[in-house]
Structure 1
Amino acid sequence: MPTTHRSARLTRRTGWRALGGALLAAPALARHGHGQSRLEDVTLITDFGFNGRHSYFYLALEKGFYREAGFNVSILRGQGSADAIRRVAAGNATLGFADAGALLLARGNDQVPVKLSAIIYASPPQALFALQERGLAAPASLAGRTLADTAFSSVRLLFGAYARAAGIDPASVTWVTAESATLPSLLANGRVDAIGQFTVGQPLLEAVTAPRPLTRFAYRDVGLDFYGNGLIATENTLATRPDLVRALTAATLKGLREAIANPEEAGAIMHRAHRQVQPAVAAGETRLVGELASVPGQPLGAIDPARVASTVRVMSDAFTLRSPVAPDELFVPGLVG
């Protein structure tokens, strides 16, 4: 489902650095009796709920990749990227999964000291979905139609950039505000012409609208170039525990690599962890994560400074920022590879 991109105000801006790393002071491996190793407890938080698109975290957990790196990992349910960023900043999670646009808002509006350590969605995940029977075959056919999404969805906030790239007037559509959980039914029941959704959510949406096929309008298909979700950590953790972040990131990317190679296995693992997530849906979402994550000629998860700069330009035009954010404020280089 789309992620809500409203950065909650952080009323106490002092002490973030100390708080963000206070729970992370122990070494990754503390030796104790008979040469055994004690695993360091760490937490990861998702962007939104537990969905098939998160299968690689659970594959890394089940296959012992985190344990091999020296960590006992707990995975927390996020309530949106802004929530994940806030909880990482507060020291309630070691590593988070959040949208670059939400991170830009958090830094520009609340000076939240959190940065990206790796990119997972290396292409824009935003999209619009319509039932094929509605006759929307090209972006131009969206003119005069009614679209639905949550109030602060990045799909909705970035629609102006999509419309301009597609050659249509952003004002030619009507937006309806709805709760995230109601969007699939609004589409299936024909109450709106299209809804905002991340591309990785297509299998879940298809399960609701089956057997009627969908038409997808992906923002990346009109040439938009910006980053989506990635792994995040506090500046304090990145500065004082770079080996911890590097090891956690590497174990996560190992899980991602195996999940992309075998999405059916990843889907089955996700289903075992969360029975409400159907294996076929999780496998489908994992395949779509692979489409977003894979960049020819680059290591999985690598951050390209030029693409970060492009992300800042696109997001700064779409969002309201109290303070400008420089590209190098959003990420730390050299943690992937």
Structure 2
Amino acid sequence: MRSGEKTAHAVSTRFDGLPAALLDWYARHARDLPWRIGPGERARGVTPDPYRVWLAEIMLQQTTVPHAARYFHAFTETWPTVEDLAGADDGDVMAAWAGLGYYARARNLLKCARAVAEAGAWPKTEDALRSLPGIGAYTAGAVAALAFGERAPAVDGNVDRVFARLLAAKGPWKEEKARIAALVRALVPADRPGEFAEALMDLGATICTPKRPNCLLCPVRDWCAAHGEGEVERYPVKPEKKARPQRRGEVYAVFRGGDVLVERRPDRGLLGGMLALPTTEWLESGMAERPGWADGGDAIGEVRHVFTHFELRLTVKRLTLADAPSGFEWMSADEAGEAFPSVFRKALKLAR
């Protein structure tokens, strides 16, 4: 046993009984989610579909359960199996993904589906799953535990928060995250790893919430050091976030009757492969050169959008043209609005 594993094992003895208490609570209070095989179904021998588990986990990154559920239903109705998704047209998948953000995930979604379809089966271990496109440590652990019953941890932001409070973790956050990951791995029960992962997800989502955690109903309160201190909301103790840089640009809503001018963004880069309105470059200082055909028109307002690493402010200009400039095409404004990512959907809505 390595030193880190020994430390985690020693700490885990303080949490003897916690997995059983958590699983007992989960059996009575599990959320009913469209991608989940619940405790009752698992007890009857129903096994999860790894495709649905994986798809849900990718969609749930950086969004809420209600928002992801609508997309999950649409995807699984259109592409019921990983082989169906692997054979899908890239543009159709990108359009169906619009509104979920982080479009590199959609590109990796297709790459992963095609890799699995080509192999003929899903890899069943945490390590093997990490070799697939777009699957990191959390997703690999979640799919391995939920779909294949491997004794693997699934440590996301909710789980980090739960264990930061259980430990009253005050050290540097990077070190505490590593400590939490090792501890969760040590606590995963060999006989019910999937339900343990789901129970932790539900605990963080419904009881041990960022604000106003409901400690009175918490099944693991007796093990919680932060509760003992009476300062649960103090944790996790993270470094202050740096202010996001600001970028500016112009975006053009160009109409011809009921159509609007669109382009397909390059596959690489931000919003890669997505349908979009024409736009200048987005710069932190100065203003990018606008295309010659966009010199006219009216500036009708501004839209703002927050990306992971910067905030964007776009001046929206509305124009009318008879012919599409080179590299662009006309598309029904209604259809475009459904296919656009959020920032261009906002601009189109303002222009209309």
TM-score by length of 2: 0.21
- Report the structure, 1 or 2, having the larger strand content: 1
Please tell me whether Structure 1 or Structure 2 has the larger radius of gyration of its CA atoms.
Answer: 2
TM-score by length of 1: 0.22
Determine which structure has greater relative contact order: mean sequence separation of CA pairs < 8 Å that are 6+ residues apart, divided by chain length.
1
